[in-house]
Every structure is written in C-alpha cells, then in structure tokens.
Amino acid sequence: MKTIALFFTLFLILSCNQPERNCTDFKTGNFKFNYLVDGKEHVGHITRTDDLQIETYGTRVDSSEVRWVNDCEVIFRTINPKSMAERKDIHIKIITTTADSYTFEYSYVGEVAKQKGEAFKVD
C-alpha cells in the first residue's frame, strides 16, 4: 500500500511541472518578431515602456497604450485607430519564456479565436 501511495505522490509531483514564465523580464524593452504577409516572412520590431508600445511593420508604425492585467497578461489599445478593427483592444498572454524570448497567444478582447507568436528581446 505504501508503494502505491509513493508512486502516486511521485506521479503528481512530476506531472505538475509548469513551463518557465519569467514574464516581468519582458514588460519593457526592445523586441523583434516574425510575421507573414502573402506567404513571405518579414521582421517586425517592438519598443515597449511601462505604458506605451510602438510596433513597426515594414513602413507602418502603430502605437498602443499598455495596461498589464497581471505579470503575464497585457491589454493593448491603439492610440489613433484608423479603422474599426484597430478600435478593438488586443489581449496578449505570455505562455512561456526563455532567457531572451517569449511565446504568447493573442486575440481581440472578447473573442475566442487565438493566435500564437514568439518575440525575441534585442536589448
């Protein structure tokens, strides 16, 4: 009986291994990310401060207000939206981190469909 209890305890401990998430390391800084347009890969850049994020996609620049929900989740609101789609806030959740990158999922606030991405710290 003790063997079964020990096995069950070890199983619980080993199965509860959570991915590393040092989200505070990525709250501010300069980042790069890859994205696709018409099947061609491009590199975008992000500069994030405590309350502002500036994203550069080729020649396009977007600025958003930053509001952290908790250490690993943030809401972005476009400062000067030019379309109805840009008026929708974006929710990002950091899923895992490494020393110099983070994997995240994102969606418009209130929508179920989520996309995934990865950003790399460059400073």
pLDDT, tens digit, 9 for 90 and up, residues 16-29: 556 678 999 999 99
User: For position 37, what pLDDT does the model report?
Assistant: 81
Dihedral sign for Cα 37, 42, 45, 46, please. Answer: positive
Nearest Cα to Cα of residue 91 among 79, 104, 75: 75
User: For position 54, what pLDDT does the model report?
Assistant: 96
Q: Are 96 and 102 in contact (CB under 8 A)?
A: yes
Residues in the chain: 123
Q: How far is CA 96 from CA 4, 26, 84, 110, 118, in A?
A: 33, 11, 31, 22, 9
pLDDT in tens, 45-86: 999 999 999 999 888 899 999 999 999 999 999 998 888 888
Asked whether the predicted pLDDT for residue 93 surpasses 60, the reply is yes
